[in-house]
Structure 1
Amino acid sequence: DTAEQIQWILDTQTEAVHEAALLCKDAQSALFVGRGMDAAISYEGALKLKEVSYLHAEAYAAGEMKHGPIALIDTGFPVIAVATKSATYDKTVSNLMECKARGAKVIVVATEGDEEINKIADCIIRVPAVRDVFSPITASVPLQLLAREVAILRGCDVDQPRNLAKSVTVE
């Protein structure tokens, strides 16, 4: 079902991705957060955003936010969370409420049908419900689209990113 699930994301989430990109395009930095498998997906999202839009982005396991990153969050700061329905969902939501209280723009990649997240998020990008082991495949797609959209809005050439590591041959 993975191909159909990804196609569903591509067919239905374009507007949400664009809305999220508008919240990020003028930022100086962005923070990606998640727990468990969602944390690993967040690291990939931050990497993609840096690679193509040249926007400073860092990822943290949401449980580590109180150990530094929370101090950086102020009004308008984009926090991109991968908060799919999992065993750690409630703890991630709690972290996002702290971000929201500090004025962050909260963008969430959330499971289709999750209505609770509507109370916190400024923008929600939906992904189909899948087992945790498959969530990196589906949840990475909207983060890649977000990176691309932010890059375009910032005037970057998404087809020719200036990533030195990919252009130099190491012997």
Structure 2
Amino acid sequence: MYCDVRSAMAPGATIRKLPAALSALPAPTEVMFPGFFAWSPVPTSAVVAALNLDRGLFATWRCRGIGPAELPPAWFRRVSGRPRYYRADTILTWLAARRGEEFDTPTAWRLGLLRDFEQDVSDPAAARKLVRLYAQAAGPAGGVSFTPFGWNAYLDGLLGK
């Protein structure tokens, strides 16, 4: 069966082609995760929206081992669709590494603390303590549902344990 896409589309509609190459990814300083902090667990849906990617392409990168490191699935309660979670700072660091730029977790956290809480912290140890304090006080963002073990492991990971 032949289908002409132009006749099936509404007049004036456009087809938006999403980036399909790792080289087309944005710089970490251009990426925002609305509703999440720089250290928050972020679901795949928020990652692909922030990076303007096709979800299937992102899954292919994950399967090939070229995507960012995800958080352990055992940390989260089972929900339909089995979403995967990433820490926002891990995504930003991964983006920088793909582009050959300098960007690391302490940088992401310092920028997040400055943007979200007007805290200018230059000491990485002090930033870790503040991040853990804010994460514990705010709880998971964006409907992320941890298991009790997962929540404690996540908080410990913020301190580098």
TM-score (norm 2): 0.30
**More strand as a share of residues:** 1
Give the TM-score normalised by the residue count of structure 1: 0.28
